[in-house]
Chain A
Amino acid sequence: DQQVKQNSPSLSVQEGRISILNCDYTNSMFDYFLWYKKYPAEGPTFLISISSIKDKNEDGRFTVFLNKSAKHLSLHIVPSQPGDSAVYFCAATVDNDMRFGAGTRLTVKP
C-alpha cells in the first residue's frame, strides 16, 4: 500500500545547479508533508515541511512546492552542494499516521 511514491530512485546533478526531487501521493486526506534527508549509517533527519493550506515553503536553499490538485510535491535545492548527497524521503501525514516514500538518492557531483 504505497500511498506515497517517489518514482525516481536516483538523481545526479552538478554542483551549483538545481536539484528537483519529486513525490506523489494518493491519499487526498494527507494534510501535512515533510522531507527528510538520510546519510549512510544514520537515521533520517527532518529537512523541511509544508501544510496542505500552502503551496510553497522556503528555507534557505530548500523550497518545497505542493500541488494539491495533482497530489504532487517537489523539493528544490538551489544551489546544490556535494554535502547534499544523501537519500531524500518524502513523507505525508494525516492524524497520527506518517507515511514515507521509498526515497531518492541524490548525488551532487563537484
Chain B
Amino acid sequence: DSGVTQTPKHLITATGQRVTLRCSPRSGDLSVYWYQQSLDQGLQFLIQYYNGEERAKGNILERFSAQQFPDLHSELNLSSLELGDSALYFCASSAAGGKEKLFFGSGTQLSVL
C-alpha cells in the first residue's frame, strides 16, 4: 500500500460528459502529480501541484483541469469527454516534489463510451 488513495477505481461515462477524479496523497506529502496511461502508452505527465500551487504542466489538454485543496487532496476534472480520453489516470505524491521518488495510487480506469 503506497498510502496514496484514488477514487473512484472505475468510471464509465459517455462522450461529452464531465468527470472528477480524486486523489489523497500520502500523509505529509505536499506534492501531487497526475499522469495518464493510454493503451500501450507510457505514463504521460499531465500536471503537478505543490502545496496548493501549480508547479509544472505537461501534456494536459485545455478540457482538463486540476487543483489541490488546502487539505492537500487533489482533483482532476475532465470535461467534454471524447472516446480517446479513455485511459488509466494515476495520481502520485512526494514529500517535496523535487527529484525524489513518487508514490503512486492504484489509478482510476476511465472508460468513455
Q: Which residues of A contact B (CB under 8 A)?
A: 1-2, 4, 6, 9, 31-32, 34, 36, 41-46, 49, 51, 89, 91, 93, 95-103
User: B105 to chain A: which residues have CB within 8 Å?
Assistant: 43
- CB-defined contacts of A96 to chain B, threshold 8 Å: 31, 48, 50, 55-56, 97-98
Question: B107 is contacted by which of A36, A43, A89, A101 (Cβ under 8 Å)?
Answer: A43
**Please, which residues of chain B bring their CB within 8 A of the CB of A32?**
99
Name B's A-contacting residues (CB within 8 A): 2, 4, 31, 33, 35, 40-45, 48, 50, 55-56, 58-59, 90, 92, 97-99, 101-107
Q: Are B33 and A102 in contact (CB under 8 A)?
A: no
The 6 closest A-B CB pairs, nearest first, are A43-B104, A102-B42, A46-B101, A100-B43, A32-B99, A96-B56
A45 touches B58 (CB 8 A): no
In contact, B99 and A93 (Cβ under 8 angstroms):
yes
> When the two chains form their complex, are residues A43 and B92 in contact, meaning their CB atoms are under 8 A apart?
yes
CB neighbours of B107 from chain A (8 A) = 43
